[in-house]
Each structure stands twice: as structure tokens, then as C-alpha cells.
């Protein structure tokens, strides 16, 4: 899919598959594997062959306790990968909490801003508005992955996540961001039970009327509930969670294991009529 096709598809009603390229030495499930430019680009191309509609490029691990990365280093990691994938005709998303990185990535061809800090920063909203690109607002309770797991004391996790996302989406739209995708932020400042609750009640988030994205791929709550130690062995558990989300109306699924997801989504749409 090219960027124009992605944008048309986002306005439609099908389910879109986002493949993950972590250009990091320390991501929780694939850190170090795609840290070099060539390996990262080859991985993005392979995911498109496997059925990804868009490739999400990130240069900072947000796992709890990850080493902070300077903006200069994040730029060095992601911009060439975005440029090369875009040159190959692929729709690319930039996964960053930093407006400077988003700006450079969009200038290099990214057609979606994926902000795990939920479009809190007005300058992040200004980048998406200024370049007329859609943005993902993902919920995390505080804008600091290092301490987010100390902030799981919600009154009601589903209500609190929804009110945060509703507020930030409204701000973004009012400031000119063309469309906002909402993401409950599975694993970001959530207990195991809170993650389950958010998937179980995803239809409440969907009812707000924005496209909803789900990113449970290989995450720790799957490992804990299903008893699977290694993140790369959590594909089956991931698919179960993602299909439960799609059943409740999720429009985008963010995944490391693209071929398995394409197969599952194809069969889901066949049997779903």
C-alpha cells in the first residue's frame, strides 16, 4: 500500500495491518535485530511482502526500564529507514514521542505519526496538523516509560483511558490534525488484568467514532497469562487478543508477526461474512 492508498483505506472500514520495525538495540522482543539500516529496511520490505499495509518505524524502546535515547540518536536511527522504505513506495508510520523526530520523519516521507504519549505535546499535534497527516494517540498514564508501571492506580481503567483519549483527540482535531486513531496502550502503565479489561471492553472505545488501533503483539501479559517465557513464542496468544479486538471493532492491528496476522485476518474476514 502506498501512502494515498493507506489514507483511503483508513477512511474505509477494513482492518489494516501495521508491521513493526524497531531500529533499536534494546526493544523487548526484537531489540538489536534491525538496528542497522540495511537490516531494518529489508525487514520492512519483507513485512510488506508478508501482507503489512503500513510499516511502523521506531528508534526508542518504550519497554519499562529502557535506556533513554537522545533525540539526535533517535533521528539518526529512524530517518534513513523511513526515507528508504518510502522510496520503495511503502506507507510508513513514525513511532516517536518527540515532535522533532516526527517532523523529520514526515519530511522524509512518513504518512502517519504514532505517538505513544498520546498527542500530549502541542508541538506533536502541530507537526501532524502542519503536514496534514493522521496521528495515533496512544494512552499511557505518564509520559515516561521508566516509571509508567508505578501509575496503574486508575479509578476505572476503561473510563480513565477513554476520557484521556477523547480529550487529546478533540484537541488534535481542533488544531487541524486531519484524523486521530485511538489506541488504549496495552502494556503501558497497565496491570495484567487492566490490559485484559481494555481488550474486553474495546467496543466502548470504538463507540467514540474514531478508528481504533490495538497493539498487544508479544506483550508481557500474554506471556504471564499463557505461561510463555520468550516474546517470539507468543504469536498464538497475540493473535487471539488481536482477533478479539477486531471482533469488537479495532481497525488497525500493530504486529511483529505479519504473515501469521495476514493469514488470521484473511480467515477472520471470510468467516465473519
Residues with active-site annotation: 219, 254
Nearer to ligand HH2, 183 or 257 (CB): 183
Under the binding rule (CB under 6 A), the answer on residue 255 touching ligand HH2 is no
Nearer to ligand HH2, 140 or 273 (CB): 140
User: What is the number of the residue whose Cβ is closest to ligand HH2?
Assistant: 215
Under the binding rule (CB under 6 A), the answer on residue 248 touching ligand HH2 is no
Residues 261 and 248: their CA atoms lie apart, in Å, by 17
- Interaction pattern, residues 118-147, with ligand HH2; x per rule: CB under 6 A: ------------------x-x---------
> Residues 237, 222: contact at Cβ < 8 Å?
yes
Subset of 57-76 contacting ligand HH2 (CB under 6 A): 58, 61-63
Under the binding rule (CB under 6 A), the answer on residue 33 touching ligand HH2 is no
> Residues 186, 197: contact at Cβ < 8 Å?
no
CB neighbour list of residue 79: distance below 8 Å, 6 or more residues apart: 104, 105, 108
- Interaction pattern, residues 73-112, with ligand HH2; x per rule: CB under 6 A: ----------------------x-----------------
What minimum distance in Å lies between the beta carbon of 84 and ligand HH2? Answer: 19
What minimum distance in Å lies between the beta carbon of 270 and ligand HH2? Answer: 27
Residues 28 and 222: their CA atoms lie apart, in Å, by 13
Grid cell in block for residue 176: 487541524
Grid cell in block for residue 250: 479495532
Residues 234 and 239: their CA atoms lie apart, in Å, by 9
Residue 258: φ, ψ to 5°: -70, -45
Under the binding rule (CB under 6 A), the answer on residue 164 touching ligand HH2 is no
Amino acid at each position: 500500500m502506498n501512502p494515498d492508498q493507506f489514507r483511503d483505506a483508513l477512511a474505509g472500514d477494513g482492518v489494516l495491518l501495521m508491521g513493526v520495525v524497531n531500529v533499536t538495540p534494546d526493544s523487548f522482543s526484537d531489540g538489536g535485530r534491525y538496528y542497522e539500516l540495511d537490516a531494518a529496511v529489508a525487514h520492512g520490505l519483507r513485512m510488506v511482502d508478508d501482507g503489512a499495509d503500513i510499516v511502523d518505524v521506531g528508534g526508542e524502546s518504550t519497554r519499562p526500564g529502557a535506556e533513554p535515547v537522545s533525540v539526535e540518536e533517535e533521528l539518526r536511527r529512524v530517518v534513513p529507514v523511513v526515507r528508504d522504505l518510502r522510496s520503495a513506495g511503502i506507507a510508513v508510520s513514525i513511532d516517536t514521542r518527540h515532535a522533532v523526530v516526527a517532523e523529520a520523519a514526515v519530511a522524509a516521507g512518513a504518512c502517519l505519526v504514532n505517538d505513544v504519549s498520546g498527542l500530549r505535546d502541542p508541538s506533536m499535534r502541530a507537526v501532524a496538523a502542519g503536514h496534514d497527516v493522521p496521528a495515533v494517540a496512544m494512552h499511557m498514564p505518564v509520559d515516561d516509560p521508566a516509571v509508567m508501571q508505578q501509575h496503574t492506580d486508575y479509578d476505572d481503567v476503561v473510563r480513565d483511558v477513554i476520557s484521556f483519549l477523547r480529550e487529546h483527540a478533540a484537541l488534535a482535531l481542533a488544531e487541524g490534525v486531519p484524523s486521530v486513531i485511538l489506541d488504549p496502550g496495552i502494556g503501558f502503565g497497565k496491570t495484567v488484568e487492566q490490559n485484559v479489561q481494555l481488550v474486553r471492553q474495546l467496543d466502548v472505545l470504538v463507540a467514540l467514532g474514531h478508528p481504533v488501533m490495538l497493539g498487544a503483539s508479544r506483550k508481557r501479559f500474554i506471556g504471564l497469562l499463557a505461561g510463555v517465557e520468550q516474546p517470539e513464542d507468543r504469536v498464538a496468544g497475540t493473535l487471539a487478543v488481536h482477533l478479539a479486538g477486531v471482533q469488537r471493532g479495532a481497525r488497525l492491528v500493530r504486529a511483529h508477526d505479519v504473515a501469521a496476522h495476514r493469514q488470521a485476518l484473511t480467515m477472520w474476514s471470510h468467516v465473519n461474512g
